[in-house]
Amino acid sequence: MWTYHNPVAVHAGPDSLRQLPALLHGRSCVLVTFAEAHELGLVERVRALLGDALHGVISDVAPNPDVQWLAPLYDRLHREHADADCLVALGGGSAIDTAKALLCATPSGRFDELLAALEQGLPLPAGRHKALIAVPTTAGTGSEVTPWATIWDQAGGRKHSLHQPWTWPEAAIIDAELMQSLPAGVTLASGLDALSHALEAIWNVHRNPVSTALAVAAARRTIDTLPRLLRDLSSLPLRAGMAQAALLAGLAFSNTKTALAHSLSYDMTLHHGLVHGIACSFSLPQVMELALGQDAATDAALLSIFDADQPGQAVHRLREFLHALGVATDPAHYGVGPEAWRAMLHSALQGPRGRNFIGQAALA
Ligand SMILES: [Fe+2]
């Protein structure tokens, strides 16, 4: 028996940003976005679309939402815009994840309360949470169709996973035109994040036939589209193709969560400074090698992505795909020697995401 569930209303296609006023249904909102959104004219576009419904703009979101800067942001939002009904998150995974933290209500209106509950694993306080409309400007995060947010505590050397029934976005707008000015580095990293979400949904103990079908389609499309997009960054059809691949991957892992490659990635980001998309993808060939042979249907799904007859061929093609994009797959390239890598692998298998990996029981 299995269930597939995703409550996010997806609105996609050319100029779909125009759907924003209708999706607010007369409610007020605050825009949560990244600093460059001003220069790119995105804040003005949203302002022109929403008029008086837009009560405020928070544009100091930085990569990897960290408790240190989230706390003053949260306190300011809940002091100045307590009555705003919605947050519109416009940006990559960091903007959307930030909005998921900001939308949670606490009785005091202070972030400390939210953080204490996260740190102690206690239920988050009930209250009047704000609704979320997510508008991704990168193709990769999938955060627009999942309820999860990663909240970092760099100073404490750890991260928290935020996941509540109210952190699902109400709606997602997928407008590839918003992604057209993304530089090559971010295009590559976010595209590989999407590939990682797809593969991690397949070698996952929570997989189901729908998540696997979505993931296979997402991975095939990423492998076909991403290299071509990197050679032609201004192509709108290729941007739209990659946006769709990332969306399918997001819909797949929204029901499975991620697995071993993401579990490994958190240390690589915290201690080796790797951006998320590279941190969660450079190990994919090795993780796939560990996944193959655990389950016949999973093997078939993985082989079909790479048009491979043999497991070794699929692993080889994945490794070659990454190398052709300039991504090294040897941990030593990132400063992690063989012994340290073995220890990282061992500890990653014990983490919550590692336990989602289908080979976990055999390897841990
Ligand atoms: Fe990811």
Distance 160 CA to ligand 1 centre (A): 14
DSSP state string for 203-264: SBTT--HHHHHHHHHHHHHHHHHHHHHHH-TT-HHHHHHHHHHHHHHHHHHTTT---HHHHH
Give the CATH number of the domain where residue 120 resides. Answer: 3.40.50.1970
Let me know: does 92 contact 137? Beta carbons within 8 Å. Answer: yes
Distance 203 CA to ligand 1 centre (A): 15
> Tell me, what's the pLDDT at 124?
83
Same domain, 213 and 350: yes
Answer yes or no: is 258 within a domain.
Answer: yes
Let me know: does 133 contact 17? Beta carbons within 8 Å. Answer: no
Answer yes or no: is 73 within a domain.
Answer: yes
Distance 274 CA to ligand 1 centre (A): 13
Answer yes or no: is 49 within a domain.
Answer: yes
Give the CATH number of the domain where residue 312 resides. Answer: 1.20.1090.10
Measured CA angle at 196 (ends 238, 219), to 5 deg? 50
Answer yes or no: is 1 within a domain.
Answer: no
* Domain boundaries, position 276: 183-363
Answer yes or no: is 4 within a domain.
Answer: no
Distance 154 CA to ligand 1 centre (A): 18
Distance 270 CA to ligand 1 centre (A): 14
Spatial distance between the Cα atoms of 333 and 137, rounded to a whole number of angstroms: 30
Distance 243 CA to ligand 1 centre (A): 15
> Tell me, what's the pLDDT at 123?
84
Same domain, 49 and 110: yes
Task: Count structural domains, the chain.
Answer: 2
Same domain, 169 and 256: no
Distance 197 CA to ligand 1 centre (A): 6
Nearest to 152 by CA among 91, 78, 71, 79: 71
Nearest to 103 by CA among 135, 81, 72, 136: 81
Answer yes or no: is 3 within a domain.
Answer: no
DSSP state string for 171-203: EEEE-GGGGTT--HHHHHHHHHHHHHHHHHHHS
Spatial distance between the Cα atoms of 111 and 66, rounded to a whole number of angstroms: 12
Spatial distance between the Cα atoms of 77 and 8, rounded to a whole number of angstroms: 24
Q: Which of 127, 151, 177 is the last residue of a domain?
A: 177
Same domain, 217 and 343: yes
What residues have a C-beta under 5 A from ligand 1, the ion? 193, 280
Distance 278 CA to ligand 1 centre (A): 9
Tell me the three state secondary structure of residue 66. Answer: strand
Same domain, 133 and 228: no
Spatial distance between the Cα atoms of 265 and 245, rounded to a whole number of angstroms: 21
Distance 337 CA to ligand 1 centre (A): 24
> Tell me, what's the pLDDT at 32?
98
Same domain, 165 and 216: no
Same domain, 172 and 209: no
Written as tens digits, the pLDDT of the chain (364 aa) is: 999 999 999 999 999 999 999 999 999 999 999 999 999 999 999 999 999 999 999 999 999 899 999 999 999 999 999 999 999 999 999 999 999 999 999 988 999 999 999 999 888 877 889 999 999 999 999 999 999 999 999 898 888 999 999 999 999 999 999 999 999 999 999 999 999 999 999 999 999 999 999 999 999 999 999 999 999 999 999 999 999 999 999 999 999 999 999 999 999 998 999 999 999 999 999 999 999 999 999 999 999 999 999 999 999 999 999 999 999 999 999 999 999 999 999 999 999 999 999 988 888 7
Same domain, 170 and 219: no
Distance 98 CA to ligand 1 centre (A): 15
Same domain, 29 and 138: yes
Answer yes or no: is 2 within a domain.
Answer: no
Same domain, 338 and 217: yes
Distance 340 CA to ligand 1 centre (A): 23
Same domain, 202 and 63: no
Same domain, 63 and 193: no
Answer yes or no: is 201 within a domain.
Answer: yes
Spatial distance between the Cα atoms of 67 and 109, rounded to a whole number of angstroms: 15
Distance 317 CA to ligand 1 centre (A): 21
